[in-house]
Structure 1
Amino acid sequence: MIKRGDEMPKISQSERILQFIKEKGSITRLQAANEIGAFELSARIVELEREGYLFLKEPIKVKNRYGDTVRVVRYSLFGE
């Protein structure tokens, strides 16, 4: 049973995005939505850029869950 004050600290979407990129190398909006529940990836990237992070932004084509080809941006940390 979790008592008041014993909750795990919440991790922000931006922190989850950074962690994902560091573990997997990059992230797309589809991965962000499906794997970490971040539905506004580009907004979180802008926030992280304001904090000083630099990102490589590569336009790519991927298949969505219905098999359709869609265009997305693959974000990775610059210099990592």
Structure 2
Amino acid sequence: MPTLNDQAEQHIGGTKGLHNHVHDLIHDPSTRLDALWRYDQCIANAEKGEADNSKQFWQILKAQEIKNVDGLKELIRKRVQNKSL
């Protein structure tokens, strides 16, 4: 016999405003932009820390993430132009 909790949760996720792949295209850039902000903080913290390679490491990750964000922006731009978003 289902519990009240089971009944309350049976419809979770049943409503989708977008297809999953479209949701991913919209949601993922936000996560990556937050990461860019954090990389700036990591770089600033490394500048205050000991002289190791951590600043360079964070700069490399930030550069890679910028490329990822640019790629997502281009993909979204194309999908919007093709009206396939």
Superposition TM-score, scaled by structure 1 size: 0.31
Structure with a larger share of its residues in helix:
2
Superposition TM-score, scaled by structure 2 size: 0.30
Determine which structure has more spread, i.e. the larger CA radius of gyration.
2
Structure with a larger share of its residues in strand:
1
